[in-house]
Amino acid sequence: MSVISSVLIPIIKLWLRSQVEHIDTLEIEIAGKSRQILSGDIPKANVIGAGARYQGLAVTNIDLCAESIHLNIAQILKGDSLRLLDPIRVTMDVELSPEDLQSCLKSPIFLDAITPDAPPIPTTDDEIRALLEQIVSKLGDEFTLHELAITDGGAKCRGEFAIAST
């Protein structure tokens, strides 16, 4: 898969890096046959990152997995932008250190989701869990939380979300 590793993965990495404010490390694994992938049909892809920041949300570690991805590969190879042709479901495992979690709780995206009034400042694991569950409930049907563990002020989350075609 030399074309895949030398052309497609760098393009996807560049696009992903453009979507976040910062990321320390980023790894991408694409499964499938070269012909299938070059036609834009990616059976499975994994994205693993560390030290990411997105819209003020800090994430220690993130592992994303999606299947049945359809991209505009032919147009990408001609210089067009990456586009997702069909919606996909993405499973995620996210880990937040206590520092990253506290940073997230102060971010505008979290504050907007919590309440327009003075937001609570959670100090215990139970308070953090309650606040995160409140936020997750506002995400609607596009996000499903499978597991949420709060330990020593940090969080581990496993869930699933949808990405619309672009």
For 3-60, the pLDDT digits (tens) are: 666 777 887 788 788 888 999 999 999 888 888 887 889 899 999 999 999 888 899 9
Least confident interval from 70-84, 92-106, 130-144: 130-144
152 closest CA partner among 81, 112, 99 = 99
Q: Which tokens is 48 given? A: 């693993």
pLDDT band at 1 (very low <50, low <70, confident <90, very high): very low
- Exposure class string for 134-144: b at 16+ Cβ within 10 A, else e: ebbeeeeeeee
Backbone angles phi, psi at 44, to 5 degrees: -160, 140
Over 90: is that where the pLDDT of 166 sits? no
> Would you call 102 helix, strand, or coil by DSSP?
helix
Which is it for the CA torsion 49, 150, 89, 165, positive or negative?
A: negative
Strands (DSSP E) along the chain, which ranges?
25-31, 41-54, 57-70, 88-96, 143-151, 154-163
Over 70: is that where the pLDDT of 72 sits? yes
Residue found under tokens 């012909």: 35
Q: How many CB atoms lie within 10 A of CB 27?
A: 12
